[in-house]
Amino acid sequence: MIILENINKSFKNVKVLNNLNISFEDKKITVVIGRSGEGKSVMLKHIVGLLKPDSGRVLFNDIDLNSINKKELNELRKKFGMVFQDGALFDSINIFENVAFPLRQHLKLSEGDVVKKVISALNDVGLSGIESKMPAELSGGMRKRVAVARALILEPETVLFDEPTTGLDPIMSDVINNLIISTQKHFKYTGIIISHDIEGAYKTADTIAMLYEGAIIEKGDAEKFKTSDNPVVRQFVTGSMIGPIVI
């Protein structure tokens, strides 16, 4: 169980997270939606301790991330996988090494096992035969898929996806969504997905939450969102220009 409690975060004078409270159930997929620039990525970074809240707590299985030291935090992070919004692939090593990186750092596998695992992980995201390419030689969508493969390769307990399907064509989006669903079924990880893709969210999510003005304004299953009478949610779900959200 991951719980964010009363998180406040400002950059300079801009308040991004405003008394944010949210919990993520274990072994379930939670999709967080919200407008661009709303603070979703910032929220995600709080979960893995990349950012520290100005006030409030981040609890991971009742451990306060702020109260533990660097080494313990690192131990904790081994249970995480994360897909960054821009992929964050290491641009100095090739795709194969990028995906193999977590394996090499944390597991003592034979080279044969590494190759097998990497090839199959890349196959899962629809990429094969690009192992020796450098990240700069790939398209944005391909890079994102490599990032997904890299995040999943250690079969972590918790996987954070920062917009895994943004920038992909609809078919590829579906492939990734299905990949998330199937791997989640298989490894039973806790999934936290940030997405703008409402249809995808309905399909993958056990729970959907909406971030608005630095706080969660609605949380529930797909049905609840489809029938929500919160005008903000309605406007976002229907994707309408007209509504209470000031552009």
What, of ligand ATP, other proteins, Mg ion, none, does residue 122 touch, CB below 5 to 8 Å by kind? none
Residue closer to Mg ion by CB (options 46, 117) is 46
| 41 near Mg ion, judged by CB under 5 A | yes
DSSP three-state, residue 227: coil
| 129 near ligand ATP, judged by CB under 6 A | no
| 166 near Mg ion, judged by CB under 5 A | no
How big is the chain, counted in residues? 247
Burial class (CB in 10 A: 0-12, 13-18, 19+), 17: buried
CA distance 97 to 216: 38
| 86 near other proteins, judged by CB under 8 A | yes
Q: Residues 1 to 20: which contact ligand ATP by CB under 6 A?
A: 11, 16
Residue closer to ligand ATP by CB (options 17, 121) is 17
Shortest distance, position 132 Cβ to ligand ATP, whole Å? 31
| 145 near other proteins, judged by CB under 8 A | no
Task: Please give the structure tokens belonging to residue 214.
Answer: 């630095």
CA distance 180 to 186: 10
Residue closer to ligand ATP by CB (options 2, 16) is 16
CA distance 134 to 89: 10
